[in-house]
Homo-oligomer: A and B are copies of this chain.
């Protein structure tokens, strides 16, 4: 009846360096840190921590579960039984000169619509999707799938770009055969680095979760240094979400939510007027544990 199971733990470990969100990888950027659950692991989280630290030498902070997979793809041979993957999102602060870190947007250039490179990538995608839809037999199907392309990739500015749909966009590209993981020809592939197995898909899940979460929980501060200026905070939010923020409104919102307090320090190297330094209010966070970090996001 019950077959033997192999449980794999996979981590999307994220940090921000020089305003660029990064993910920890192994195998030259082709795999996320991962390994089987062992009997010595006291819990799933402990197992994730153990594997990440063993493979990358990097200790991790905040950890939360993402998703558990057991797809057809993950079926091993009949003798070995089934494979189940439990994925986690982990956040951490600095990382001076460690290897294994890669930019998020090396894997998902189209998610970085703030930059010209991202917009160029979206132009390519739009063309390829158009071709994909045009090649369908069924007219109703064509309409339906084009509608999907339009909403997911905000084609033709009838729909606004939704930064949280990272996974849905990746899955559409996969279905359309435009990513290397789908086994397509290199010339019809969208820009962006591929990964082994379904690790890029898991990375997409983690990015989506983080983009969603920074909007209603003060998790950004897990990625910030102890002291920071408001512009630094804003740049981190922008790079994570891939969307511009109106500076004055951002400050207003952060201040009125009382998530940060002045340290009294001053950052001089701003390139302009010196900026006040702030720190995250851990105490207030304890008291009103469940407030959000609303951010005024603006379209590019």
Q: Measuring CB to CB, which residues of chain A are less than 8 angstroms from any residue of chain B? A: 1-7, 36-39, 42-44, 65, 67-72, 81-82, 84, 86, 144, 147-148, 151, 159, 162, 165, 286-290
Contacts and interface: CB of A to CB of B under 8 A. Distances in A.
B67 A165 contact: no
Contact of A290 (B43, B84, B151, B286): B151
A67 B65 contact: yes
B65 A159 contact: no
Which of A3, A65, A69 gathers the greatest number of chain B CB atoms within 10 Å?
A3
A38 B7 contact: no
Which of A4, A67, A286 gathers the greatest number of chain B CB atoms within 10 Å?
A4
Given A1-B36, A2-B7, A7-B84, 13 more contacts: A2-B36, A5-B5, A5-B6, A5-B7, A44-B69, A44-B70, A65-B67, A68-B68, A68-B86, A84-B84, A147-B287, A151-B287, A151-B289
Contacts of A82: 37, 39
A1 to B, nearest CB: 6
Contacts of A86: 68
10 contacts: A1-B38, A2-B7, A2-B37, A5-B6, A43-B70, A43-B72, A144-B286, A147-B286, A151-B288, A159-B288
Contacts of A162: 290
A39 B70 CA distance: 11
Given A2-B6, A5-B7, A37-B2, A42 B72 contact: yes
A138 to B, nearest CB: 16
B4 A4 contact: yes
Contact of A39 (B2, B37, B147): B2
A147 B71 CA distance: 44
Contact of A43 (B2, B44, B71, B289): B71
A165 B290 CA distance: 9
Nearest to A81: B39
A259 to B, nearest CB: 16
A37 B147 CA distance: 37
Contacts of A159: 288
Nearest to A39: B3
Contacts of A7: 2, 5, 84
Contacts of A65: 67-68
A2 B151 contact: no
Contacts of A288: 151, 159
A127 to B, nearest CB: 23
A159 B284 CA distance: 13
Nearest to A1: B38
Contacts of A43: 70-72
Contacts of A4: 4-5
